[in-house]
Structure 1
Amino acid sequence: MLDVLPAPPPNFHSRLESDRYSAGTKSVLIKNATIWTGGDDGHEIVHGEVVLDKGIVKYVGSRAPASLLDSLSDLEEFNVQGAWVSPGIVDLHSHLGVYSVPSLSGASDGNSRKGPVLPWLRSLDALNTHDDAYRLSISGGITTAVVLPGSANAIGGQAFAIKLRPTAERSPTSMLLEPPFGINGSEVDPTLPPRWRLLKQACGENPSRVYSGTRMDTIWAFRQGYETARKIKVSQDAYCSSALSGHWEGLGEFPEDLQWEALVDVLRGRVKIQNHCYETVDLDDIVRLSNEFKFPIAAFHHAHETYLVPETLKRAYGHPPAIAMFATNARYKRESYRGSEFAPRILADEGLKVVMKSDHPVLNSRYLLYEAQQAHYYGLPANLAMAAVTTTPAEVMGMGHRVGYLKKGVVWDSHPLSLGATPKQVYIDGIAQLSHPHTTPKPPSFQHLPKTPNFDKETSDALKYEGLPPLEPREKLELADVAFTRVGSVYVRDPKSRNGIRELYGRDGEEGVVFVRNGTVICADQINGSDNCMDKFMTSFTRVVDLAGGSIAPGLVAYGSPLALHEIQGEASTADGYVFDALEEEVPKIVGGEYSVIRAVDGLQYATRDALIAYRAGVTTGVTPPKSAGFFSGLSTAFSTGSAHKLEKGAVIQEVAAFHVSVGHGGNGAPSVSTQIAVLRRLLVGEVGGEMGEWIGEVKSGKIPLVINVESADVMATLIKLKEEVETEIGETIKVTFTGASEAHLLAKEIGAAGVGVILTPSRPFPQTWEQRRILPGPPLTEHNAVSLLLGHNVTVGIGIPENWAARNIRFDAAWAALEAKGDLSKTDTLALASVNLEKLLGVSVPTYEGDLVATWGGDLLEFESKVVGIVSPSKGIVDLI
């Protein structure tokens, strides 16, 4: 049996009960469903019924046979009224349970530091069943995850596929999908084909950094390990050859080594290798390694440069690897700098399999489907986008006979590729996982596949420029007249309106014209039978831009990440660096000592790729404080994301915006929370000298806000009391904004009464740390999300982003928040979350007539079907065509 390849048992597809069936589980009939089955290369859609019984799907089709239904004694019916039903979401790259949530030092088991090649380690042996993320991930439709060791080793160990539902046994073993060998009674019949195994490999920066080596060292470590395994395999083959020939005399024991048996199985083609690998040099190294030792690679993960070298991938031994990647998360280290949002489309066009993955908790796997939605938005065909989180990862991990097709199901409240699609129910092993799901009816348009904008040129440029295409506007129109035609809606700043934004006209079937002269809107009319703007201002020199029913809206604001303070997160040489923190170190006198104040404006870097990509997505302003790892940060600044350098007109919008500090749990000798509060109290009511005293004076007089990064509701409560104490002492009202604010919903009423604003960063919460563990997750787990709950208590709310790459997605974050708000947010309310509310909370004063506007083609700024095509900047006197 040594050369028999893995396969399901011969009778697998005729089984009547799953080996994971939980006794007492009721049968389920899902009626009136629109079913994406995963069949016909992802094109099969069935309108009808699904029957779940004894942990497996017994029927998918137009109408379940009466004989089948009559045979089910305890049947629950679920009429989904036309809703979409899909296979459960499969995450091919997760660290769920080994990098635990919340992150605690006693529950972080992703890697060993015992050497570069460790194929004998197993992620199963570190799987924490008490991780807070299981429930959250299930609520996003995740039913199956491959739990990988980390990437600090060239070979980090064996991975295991798990089902996320809680079991009666409560053990890691009971979560296994299909153990590849005997574990606690789950024995494998040695006369049948074996089951697939999974192994994690990594190359490039990560293992080189951990073991202070180079790429050459890492590849040599690979070769040493595989040569050891090759010799064992040769001796095993010789043993069996002798035995099969009847030459038993002196043969001895079968040659094997427990440490190396997993690599021997790799050489026998029985292991699905999941290989962390980014750059061309590393991809080429592993392809050569696969051919040298003759083993296939199941998938390259992260793989940001794979779209540039498809022919290299096709030369891998056995078959081309699949590519498991993020949609838009890139440029966080050198290896990912050439990452492109068009990579999934390009790879699919080359005939390569595409998988979207989370790398949980790098991305919250609850929103893995969002990665597929973004990939579709940027051009991956719908059938492949859905397959990228269902059928393709299932096949790549060797489990397509069990998951990825309609065997475990999710009932969605809208089309799965529409923004914010949320499970109405999730079934794992035939068991409903959401006890009291909360969903909000979506607009009818969300029940249909979104139309994707045309990104043909951008896709071509990604290849032409090897991942670094020009990001500057294609045209800067200065001192020019521009007429935007077929405008479906117009939203403008208006300080007299309830939320600071006014709708000039919206989608009532009429389209209009917006006329811009020298970067300023001078006319905006619906047509209504006469082209007033066109009649008044149109000349032969006017540039006409057709928006095809699109929109004009205020530019968005990015806050929460060090946008424009570093280019590559993992490269210190590209960053402004961190400020001194007087609570943890001595601040040099030449800087100003303990009362020095650092200004972010002095460290700004313009034309960073993340800033320019954000600009192309309608984010025209960035606000950032100095980078800090402690209590003190300094003075934030507001800048134009689309400017080339600081001396350009309008590049610095406001030199100083707000005064920033952080209050929270630190550890490792960091000052206590009570110490931080004492310092803040002294700053606000005591005598403080130097530059610090001057800027605290500005805070105390209400001229600039005090922005406090804080996660814990307990700390927020103390800060609210401190604000009251300070205001009583000084006789003035101070402006305070909480950022981060994962637990702010617990004090929504008190925060509103105290007049404190909140910037939720991120807008969809995740309990990454202990202070963030009491999140309000939103639908389907809770009726409300934090945005709507805070707004309901008269809190001014903005939304932020924790990392630079995410700035481009702010418009979708705002739209998603509104979709979860049960219809309570208007378009203007939603736009305000990511624009004027942030300016107010961060002390940025933008005159109404100077605020940037964004022009979108095909829909408004909040819609998945729209594309940003222009920026109107009155302060610069230009229109940028994107």
Structure 2
Amino acid sequence: MLYDIHSVPDKYKFAQHSVGISKESYRDGVNKCNMIKRVRPDNKFIRTSNPRFVPGTKTVILKNGKILNEKGEFILGNITLKNGLIHDIGSNLIDEEDAIIIDVKEKYITPGLVDMHSHTGVGAWPSLRATNDVNEKTDPIRPYVRTQDAINPSDLGIRIIASGGVTTSLVLPGSSNLMGGEGFVIKMRPVNTLSVDDMGIYANIDPEKERAWRWLKMACGENPKRNYGAIGRIPSTRLGEAWLFRKLFAEARALKRKQDDWCEAAEKLSGDDQLNSYFPEEFRLESLVALLRGDARLNVHCYEAYDIEAIIRHSLEFNFNITAFHHALDAYRITEIIKKRVKNNITIATFSDNWGYKKEAFQASTKSPKILADAHIPVALKSDHPVINSQTLIFEASKANYYGLDEHLSLAAVTSVPAKALGLDHRIGKISKGYDADVVVWDSHPLALGAAPLEVYIDGIPQFNTSSSVLGNETSKQIPSNNINAFIPKSNFTRKPFKSRLTSSVVLKNVGKIYVDKNNIIDITSSTQGDISVIVKDGIVECIGINCTEPDHISSYEVIDLNGGYVLPGFISVATSLGLAEIKSESSTTDGTVTPVSNPNNAEGLIYAIDGLKLGGKHLEAAYKAGVFTAVTAPLSSKGVFVGISMAFETGASSVLDYDPEPIVKEHVALHAQIGTKFKYTTIPTVSGQIALIRKTLIMNLRKDNIFGRAANGYIPFVVETHNKDEIASLIRLKIQVRENGGNLNLVILGGIEAHIHAAELARHNIPVILIPLRPVPSSWSAQHALTGAPITNTTGISILHANKVMVGIGVKESGLERNLIWEAGWAAINSKGGISEKDSLGFISWNLEEILGLNSRNRRLMKGNIANFVAYDGNPFDMSTRVKVVAGGGKNKILIDPQQD
């Protein structure tokens, strides 16, 4: 019997037309009711098989490894990988004829890393318009699109990411929309079928036994309102964002109630009776209803405190859980709001030190992970790949540890914490019996600078076929130094908290090594007797070396025991916007973007960066506290060929009118240009046109006394940004052509991802390279020959250039990351297999750049009678448990003790 909608109580009335429906349609509705009311598996069963297991995979026994256990401790033992699972952990070895037994000789073994915020596959490498599927930017509300339908299993990034030890990634839509869609979790193991479904974490599972979660992505704050406000659509403000959120959640809640009412009405019927209306559905709201029913996990891109609170407010109004706030660089400021106003434990999936690139990221703190952890809020570290190359995810944990998060929590932030937030902590994120056989064997402690996987197992399958002889090699990677052994991390909680303070007079005692410059090194190992000391009085160096006498009135000095630490010259930052932009996305905080000069006769139209210099900003302060004393900055440009003339200045200065010392190191450093596809614009729409313009301009001005002529004759360096091997080859030819016309072009390559291909020719023609980034990836069509490092490539671009005697420097890709320059230099040395020495690597960020760019820093050297200019560490700076103790640069009375990064 059909029940007309009018014959049931009002609470069961629906908007659908009162027409008869088929029995099949009614049964389909009842089945959906049953699915709604079903008991979900709790995933607490003992796993005896991995549904992703590939038949024929041999059992692997990793013997004598330092295994990260569930308590976060490294214990010596064996681990057996069998049937795609961690079969056993302990001292016993199973007796299996075909088992592969590898003695890893106390190498560190961790679970596979878990990246809970990635765009790999939907933003595939090399980046092309045809394969960019990150955002469906046609409407701010797109909760129903799915990354599963767009992941490219042939993305070059997948293997590169796996080479960093990442075995699982949550691939999310981007943050252009308020409701961006549904994410998909994949294992970073390519499959022969080229099937995205087969890469999925839930491939082949039994849904009656294992609960399969869904993952939604939403965003708030700057991105959605910028994207849609710019075209006159809502949201253009946070007011509009909140309205759209509430509108859609209200619609989803109403639909959920209709479904529940329909199911309740159907349940009251018996026999052949049925309702005469269809089960209420609206496909565009289906994923939101799943969230309200607790079947989906919500991940929200949110930075600012008030944005985070607004989303929490929506969750309380509409009764849904938030799984994680992503990025959330303000979360450390509102721990009580996050803890007290929500019923579930929200994870903060954040960066360790990425900051300052927009207003939302401007008030970030390096102490954030520790503050959150101290408040018992789970902290995950993620990449936002390709914002940060997910291959380097372990380095995010290393930096978090450096800034105060303890070793156990730093490792958990890239393993067990994100696994739990994804609802997958029953199978990944830990080394435990019955878990997926996703493990990483590291060449050194995973939190050590430069740590890299020797082998990565996913579902028990080795991804890089590393030979047993390499895995069992007894030589552990070491910091390249004569007096520092292999790195063993120290707990940051054993360190006394220090307070930053200024002084003008200081005594550094028990110094281990001083690098005055590349030709002058004072080393304790070469001293016959006595300690190495540095004495500075009223900002002037009084003594340096082993014959320093303790000064009179020692109580008026700040005395620092370096415990064998290092004293280095200040570092140089090249190619960021330091001094010209504080928040690059906010035009009111920048000098502005230059108008391209495309007329060879218009040298007067070039912009000089020195005229726009602003001092005293947060970016400069962060760089200064890390020992980056000199910045070389060109005018800001996004298109065109000729950029303008760069400047060099002291980061610690407060005004261009400071005269102690003069803050301007060099007013006019180099003429800058840029070539490549991303710099095309209407006037010069081709790369060939860009190179032709440079050739014509330089040769036409050879006999003229203008900036073009000075560059053509080598009186000022000509710095050209490019990555592509063919463009670099064309520039080498260009230098030859200028020489044939009587010039002497002092060409410098900036960027240079593919420069290693022409290393011999670059050396032959005396062309230096300033590498940016140091650790490249094939992210663009013009950089497909990037060398990504072990275990994929057995060498790196910088190693090849250095071995061919090319003068090399290291630059910085983004402002805010200048403070990591010392670690970039250390990575280059540590991963060079002995080809790059400690001294060589320090030159990449100091004296090499001085030589390349013609900066005379003699008056800034650590020499008797000079104003103090150095950075001092309490150990080897390549050891990530070492801290900056003293920075002295920027003036007589500006010696900062125990500088603290914000």
- TM-score where L is the length of structure 1: 0.90
State yes or no: 1:792 paired with 2:821: no
CA displacement at 1:316 relative to structure 2: 4.2
Contact 1:5–1:269 at 8 Å: present in 2 too?
no
SS of the residue 1:372 aligns to: helix
On the 8 A contact 1:489/1:860 being kept in 2, the answer is no
Matches within 5 A, 1:656-695: 656-666=668-678, 667=680, 669=682, 670-687=684-701, 693-695=705-707
| C-alpha contact 2:406 2:491 (8 A) present in aligned 1 | no
SS in 2 for 1:59: strand
Mapped to 2, the partners of 1:510 and 1:93 lie a distance apart of: 53
Q: Give the alignment of 1:465-614 within 5 angstroms.
A: 474-477=501-504, 481-493=505-517, 497=519, 502-505=521-524, 511-526=531-546, 532-535=547-550, 539-583=554-598, 593=602, 595-614=604-623
* Corresponding residue number in structure 1 for 2:648: 638
Q: Secondary structure at the match of 1:549?
A: coil
Secondary structure in 2 matching 1:577: coil
Match of 2:829 among 815, 818, 839: 818
SS of corresponding position for 1:259: helix
Kindly provide the amino acid, as one letter, of the partner of residue 835 in structure 2. D
SS at match of 1:367: helix
Q: Partner residue of 1:465?
A: none
1:193 CA drift (Å): 6.5
Deviates further, 227-236 or 534-543 = 534-543
Change (3 A) 1:813 1:430: same
SS of the equivalent of 2:275 reads coil
Q: Deviations over 1:479-505 (max 9, x none)?
A: xx42111222211025xx3xxx53444
Alpha-carbon distance change, 316 to 192 in structure 1, aligned in 2, over 3 angstroms: farther
Residues 377 and 453, structure 1, Cα contact 8 Å, conserved in 2: no
C-alpha separation in 2, matches of 1:246 and 1:194: 30
Answer yes or no: is the 8 Å Cα contact 1:342–1:378 preserved in 2: yes
8 Å CA contact retained: 2:861, 2:869: no
Percent identity between matched residues is 36
Question: Are 1:232 and 2:255 an aligned pair?
Answer: yes
Question: Is contact 1:142-1:366 (8 Å) kept?
Answer: yes
CA contact (8 A) 1:488 1:507 kept: no
Give 1:448's aligned residue. 488
Structure-to-structure mapping, 1:212-231, within 5 angstroms: 212=229, 213-231=236-254
Given the alignment of the two structures, is residue 2 of structure 1 paired with residue 36 of structure 2, yes or no? yes
| Cα shift at 1:199 | 0.2
Separation in 2, partners of 1:214, 1:455: 45
Tell me which residue corresponds to 2:227: 210
Which residue number in structure 2 is paired with residue 428 of structure 1?
Answer: 458
Change beyond 3 A, Cα 1:313–1:396: same
- Residue 80 of structure 2: which of 22, 44, 51 is its match? 51
Could you say if the C-alpha distance between residues 505 and 578 of structure 1 is closer, same or farther in structure 2, counting changes exceeding 3 Å? farther
Inter-partner Cα distance in structure 2 for 1:642 and 1:806: 16
- State the Cα distance separating 1:874 from its structure 2 match: 8.6
Give the corresponding residue for 1:464: none
Alpha-carbon distance in structure 1 between the residues aligned to 2:201 and 2:712: 59
**1:468 corresponding residue in structure 2:** none
Distance of 1:163 and 1:111 partners within structure 2? 22
Work out the CA distance in 2 between the residues paired with 1:286 and 1:3.
28
Partners of 2:654 and 2:604 lie apart in 1 by 33
Larger Rg: 2
Cα offsets for 1:581-615 (capped at 9, x unmatched): 123xx89xxxx956522111111111111111011
Matched, 1:410 2:410: no
1:46, 1:61 within 8 Å by CA — same for their partners in 2? no
Q: 2: distance between equivalents of 1:628 and 1:92?
A: 34
Instruction: Indicate the residue corresponding to 1:470 in structure 2.
Output: none
Are 1:98 and 2:128 counterparts? no
Deviation at 1:698, TM superposition (A): 2.2
* Cα separation, 1, equivalents of 2:772 and 2:828: 12
Q: How much has 1:257 moved relative to structure 2?
A: 2.6
What secondary structure, in the 3-state scheme, does the structure 1 residue paired with 2:36 have? coil
Change (3 A) 1:321 1:118: same
How far 1:332 moved relative to its partner? 0.8
Provide, for residues 645-673 of structure 1, a one-character-per-residue CA deviation record: whole Å limited to 9, x for no partner. 11112321111111111122245644322
Maintained 8 Å contact 1:502/1:828:
no
Q: Which moved more, 1:47-56 or 1:847-856?
A: 847-856
Q: Larger deviation: 763-772 or 869-878?
A: 869-878
Is it true that 1:625 corresponds to 2:640 in the alignment?
Answer: no
The answer for the alignment partner of 2:771 in structure 1 is 760
Determine the C-alpha separation between the residues in 2 that align with 1:704 and 1:582: 18
Contact 1:116 1:218 in 2 (8 A): no
Deviations along 1:799-818, one digit per CA (max 9) or x if unpaired, are 01110011010001100110
Which 4+ residue blocks in structure 1 deviate beyond 6 angstroms? 437-440, 453-456, 507-510
Map of 1:615 onto structure 2: 624
Q: How many Å separate the matches in 1 of 2:341 and 2:59?
A: 45
TM-score, length of structure 2 as denominator length:
0.88
1:161-200 paired onto structure 2 within 5 Å: 161-178=185-202, 186=204, 189=207, 194-200=211-217
* Aligned mate of 2:380, from 332, 355, 365: 355
Match of 1:739 among 740, 745, 750: 750
TM-superposed deviation, 1:455:
8.0
Shift of 1:695: 1.7
Please say which of residues 502-511 and 201-210 is displaced more in the overlay: 502-511
Q: Give the whole-Å Cα distance in 1 for the aligned partners of 2:746 and 2:839.
A: 24
The SS at the match of 2:545 is: strand
Pairing 1:63–2:92 present: yes
Query: Where does residue 293 of structure 2 map in the other structure?
Result: 268
Q: Distance in 1 between matches of 2:462 and 2:810?
A: 33
Alignment CA distance shift 1:696-1:503 (3 Å): farther
Amino acid at match of 1:2: I
Q: 1:402 to 1:677 in 2, by over 3 A?
A: same
Distance 1:176 1:682 in 2: 54
Measured against aligned partners, the alpha-carbon deviations of 1:358-386 in whole angstroms (never above 9, x if no partner) come to: 00000000001111110010000111100
Residue in 2 that maps onto 1:385: 410
**502-511 or 284-293: bigger deviation:** 502-511
Q: Distance in 2 between matches of 1:222 and 1:873?
A: 50
Unpaired segments ≥5 residues, structure 2: 1-34, 230-235, 480-484, 863-867
> 1:329 offset after TM fit, Å?
0.5
Aligned-partner Cα distance in 1 for 2:192–2:419? 25
For structure 1, the residue ranges without an aligned partner over 5 or more in a row are: 180-185, 462-472, 527-531
Task: Work out the CA distance in 2 between the residues paired with 1:251 and 1:874.
Answer: 82
SS of the equivalent of 1:282 reads: helix
Closer/same/farther in 2, CA of residues 454 and 218 from structure 1, 3 Å limit = farther
3-state SS of paired residue (1:92):
strand
Match for residue 708 of structure 1? Answer: 720
2:737 aligned with 1:725: yes
Aligned equivalent of 2:325, options 297, 300, 321: 300
CA contact (8 A) 1:97 1:126 kept: yes
Contact (CA 8 Å) 1:341, 1:375: kept in 2 or not? yes
1:840 aligns with 851
Question: How has the CA–CA distance of structure 1 residues 748 and 436 changed in structure 2, closer, same or farther, with 3 Å as cutoff?
Answer: farther
- Structure 1 residue corresponding to 2:709, chosen from 697, 720, 724: 697
Q: Which amino acid aligns with 1:319?
A: N
Give, in angstroms, the shift of residue 720 of structure 1: 0.9
Which residues in structure 2 correspond to 1:133-144 (within 5 Å)?
Answer: 133-144=157-168
CA contact (8 A) 2:517 2:861 kept: no
Q: 2-side partners of 1:612 and 1:26: how far apart?
A: 54
Q: How has the CA–CA distance of structure 1 residues 510 and 399 changed in structure 2, closer, same or farther, with 3 Å as cutoff?
A: farther
Shift in Å at residue 453 of structure 1?
8.2
- Residue 449 of structure 2 aligns with an amino acid whose one-letter code is L
Letter of the 1:837 counterpart: N
Q: What is the distance in 2 between the residues matched to 1:244 and 1:176?
A: 36
- Equivalence map 1:276-425=2 (5 Å): 276-406=301-431, 407=436, 408-425=438-455
CA RMSD of aligned residues (A): 2.5
